């Protein structure tokens, strides 16, 4: 039997680098690091490197769109 991983599960495993997030959102790295430091975006730490899940980015923007604190 072949192991099957659904596409949405693979998408959730995909981790974005800070450079990829900045390019996607068209923001500076300093803004991204400030938001991470404030705890507004959940990160995955791999040693000293930061990675971001798509779901964490979506949650951040959902809270902003629904009247959450500005960031």
Range of the domain at 39: 10-65
Residue 48 lies in a domain: yes
Comparing 38 with 2, the larger pLDDT belongs to 38
- Cα(19)–Cα(3) distance, integer angstroms: 32
Q: Answer whether 44's CB lies under 8 Å from 53's CB.
A: yes
Predicted TM-score (pTM) above 0.85: no
Q: What is the pLDDT of residues 18-31, one digit of tens each?
A: 999 999 999 999 99
Q: What is the pLDDT of residues 35-53, one digit of tens each?
A: 999 999 999 999 999 999 9
The number of folded domains in the chain is 1
Residue 71 lies in a domain: no
Q: How many CA atoms lie within 13 A of 67 on its CB side?
A: 0
pLDDT of residue 11: 64
pLDDT of residue 1: 42
CA angle 57, 63, 67 (to 5 degrees): 150
- Residues 37-64 as b/e (b if ≥16 CB within 10 A, e otherwise) read eeebbebeeeeeebbbbeebbeebeeee
Residue 41 lies in a domain: yes
Residue 5 lies in a domain: no
Residue 4 lies in a domain: no
């Amino acid at each position: 039997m072949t192991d099957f991983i659904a596409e949405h599960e693979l998408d959730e495993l995909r981790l974005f680098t800070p450079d990829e997030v900045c390019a996607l959102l068209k923001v500076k790295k300093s803004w991204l690091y400030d938001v991470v430091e404030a705890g507004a975006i959940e990160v995955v730490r791999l040693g000293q490197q930061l990675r971001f899940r798509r779901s964490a980015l979506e949650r951040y923007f959902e809270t902003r769109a629904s009247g959450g604190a500005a960031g």
